[in-house]
Amino acid sequence: MDHDVRVTLEVESRTVSGSILLNGAPIIGATCEAMRPTVLFRDTSTGKEVFIPSSCDPNVELSFSGRVYVGTYEVWSKDGLTAGESLLLPSLQVTSDISDLTLDVQK
């Protein structure tokens, strides 16, 4: 017997964007050649990770923008400003677009 089963899954994602500070101060002048941080979103229930690179425009403050699935995340800074990973937010719930998230990397 041949069964043709089709399942449609709707997976919701949201845009998350904001600025990256270093010890509370804006970072201006990051270039694409410089070691700049990547923002890592780690899903707290599945452990899956989404990497969002930071901007590389030397004329504006360091920022990031990308899409993640709806869920709860640990937010980390990876490489760039600190060696390895640095936990920035232990729990960020993403249910809608977030456009003003400020991440402060302590060094």
In a domain, 69, yes or no: yes
Closest CA to 88 of 48, 53, 37, 46: 37
More confident residue, 8 or 66: 66
pLDDT of residue 9 exceeding 80, the answer is no
Task: List the domain range (segments joined by +) for residue 77.
Answer: 13-94
In a domain, 21, yes or no: yes
Q: Residue 2's pLDDT is what? A: 65
Rank 22-36, 48-62, 86-100 by mean pLDDT and report only the highest.
86-100
d(CA 23, CA 58): 19
Q: Residue 7's pLDDT is what? A: 79
User: pTM for the whole thing?
Assistant: 0.84
The total number of structural domains that make up the chain: 1
